[in-house]
Structure 1
Amino acid sequence: MSIVEELMQTATSDTDLLRTLDGQGDDFSVPRDVDFLMRAPSQERAELVANFINDNQYGVATAEESGGKHSVNIVIRMPVQQHLALSVSGFMACVATLFGLDYDGWGCIAQKSAQHIVAE
């Protein structure tokens, strides 16, 4: 799959996730920890990408291994307004492609803004 096709598919998946969060009453402007996941062919490749992410301060990345499968989990504290979420997700898809990993998308917990009660 070309990088353009990957970006188009990622944007569609990201928009679907945002619709789900919207259905849960999410306030997209509230910053929260957002997890981005990449699947790696080896522990060495996972560590290489995690180090790249951390060294360039794109997020906080951890190379992980579970059941013989390798991955990179990247956490970024951010709001998830569509233009931000899709831009960061697209960047992660590009990084994954450049390093030969599979980008598996992102997720977060829906957030609601705090309601302030004003006494009169």
Structure 2
Amino acid sequence: MKLPPVDPARLDEEWRADQDVLANLRENGDQSDIPRPVDVSFRGSPDALDDLADAAEELGFEVIETEPSEDGEPWLFLQRTQTSDADAIKALTIICLQIEAMFGLEYDGWGCVAQTGLTH
């Protein structure tokens, strides 16, 4: 599947937001080289979300769930396992912005749990 190019201004906007999340992870003792599930979310028309859900595996993601919203545009949550180092997160953001453009959706960011390497 050929993904479209990313708008550089949109990437800059998302990358600034990513920096805050990465800083928060570091503050919580995250070891960025430990692979972990990373969730991403998209919002849009049910048909576009269905199309993305059908293509998720080919794009390297697993479908987690769809959540309804009050305004009729539901959310689709996808997940993949990866590290949280800056290069890996920037690559994730780029593919998510490509997905946003290709499927006519709104990308709403990513999230994961800090991995400290400690077991409780």
Name segments (4+ residues, structure 1) moved above 2 Å.
none
Identify if the C-alpha distance between structure 1 residues 4 and 57 changes in structure 2 by more than 3 Å, giving closer, same or farther: closer
Larger radius of gyration: 1
The answer as to 2:67 corresponding to 1:65 is yes
The structure 2 residue matched to 1:97, chosen from 101, 111, 115, is: 101
What amino acid does structure 2 have at the position aligned with 1:53?
A
What amino acid does structure 2 have at the position aligned with 1:61?
V
* Equivalent residues, number: 112
Correspondence 1:42-53 to 2 at 5 A: 42-53=45-56
Q: Secondary structure at the match of 2:29?
A: coil
Aligned counterparts of 2:62 and 2:20: Cα–Cα separation in 1: 25
1:114, distance to aligned residue in structure 2 (A)? 3.7
- Report the identity percentage: 24
Identify if the C-alpha distance between structure 1 residues 57 and 93 changes in structure 2 by more than 3 Å, giving closer, same or farther: closer
Deviations 1:81-109 (A, max 9, x none): 11011111211111112211011000001
1:57, distance to aligned residue in structure 2 (A)? 4.5
1:61, distance to aligned residue in structure 2 (A)? 2.2
1:28, distance to aligned residue in structure 2 (A)? 0.6
The answer as to 2:92 corresponding to 1:83 is no
Deviations 1:25-55 (A, max 9, x none): 1111111110011111x2111110111122x
What amino acid does structure 2 have at the position aligned with 1:98?
M
**Paired residues of 1:50 and 1:62 also in contact (CA < 8 A):** no
